[in-house]
Amino acid sequence: MSINPMDLTGRLILVTGASSGIGRATALLLSQLNARLILVARNRDRLEQTHSALEGTNHQVEPFDLTNLDAIPGWIKDLASRSGPLHGVVHGAGVYGVIPLRILTAPKLEEILRVNLSAAMLLAKGFRQKGCHADGGSLVLLSSVAGLRGHAGISAYTASKAALLGLARSLAMELAREGIRVNCVAPGLVATEMSAQVEEQTPGEIAGVENAHPLGAGRPRDVANGIAFLLSDAARWITGTTLTIDGGYTAH
């Protein structure tokens, strides 16, 4: 009998940012690995589109605005009371913007940090609550190679993604006693709606970045594969680390 160490049968996993891009690809893959999913984003219609493409049954659509930070722990408590304890949380939601320092405003900085970083911290707080996590829980944060390499014009975004790397290390130490593993994935350039928007804002920029990836631009499924691995028992002895998935971008 063959054994799939990444099988997620019986697992309940919450995915933020599930309405598009890497979040949607992750949800699709996790359903194929037999997980039961809670899909989270602000737009119900787009979540329903993801939901309709999932394999399996008993998945949930839960629209929620992650900028409402104080409400996150209580919301997760409510989800767990209705659906059972979570086996995993994937924070795939994020805000990106090409904003040179000379035009950066405090409100825009706050928006980026609130969704990319602060929401991650409050999701972790909610996940660790009694009754909210199952044994062997796994939290996966979507960082970026921007947190590893400097890029002009995206300092606010870079700061938020670099902070996630440190956050994962500290949370891994703090939550080990709860049986929760915490890791990051750091993708390089991935062909998503977000990268298409960047190309519209700064024509030619994406082509230059893609040329710096020896294996070219990635696909959302490439990153989803890494996320699924970190959620699974195949990664049961991995915590506090960052899995870089970048087609060789940071190798030179």
Question: Could you list the active site residues?
Answer: 157
Question: Radius of gyration of the chain from Cα atoms?
Answer: 17
Q: Which amino acid is at 252?
A: H
Both tokens assigned to 180: 């929760």
| Nearest to 50, CA basis, from 82, 76, 25 | 25
Beta-carbon-side half-sphere exposure of residue 74 (alpha carbons within 13 Å): 4
Name 234's Cβ contacts closer than 8 Å, sequence gap at least 6: 5, 6
Both tokens assigned to 142: 């979507």
Name 13's Cβ contacts closer than 8 Å, sequence gap at least 6: 30, 35, 36, 37, 38, 86, 87, 88, 89, 90, 231
Is residue 206 helix, strand or coil? Answer: helix
Q: How far is the C-alpha of 113 from the C-alpha of 93, rounded, in Å?
A: 12
What one-character-per-residue DSSP string does 44-78 give? HHHHHHHHHH-SSS--EE----TT-GGGHHHHHHH
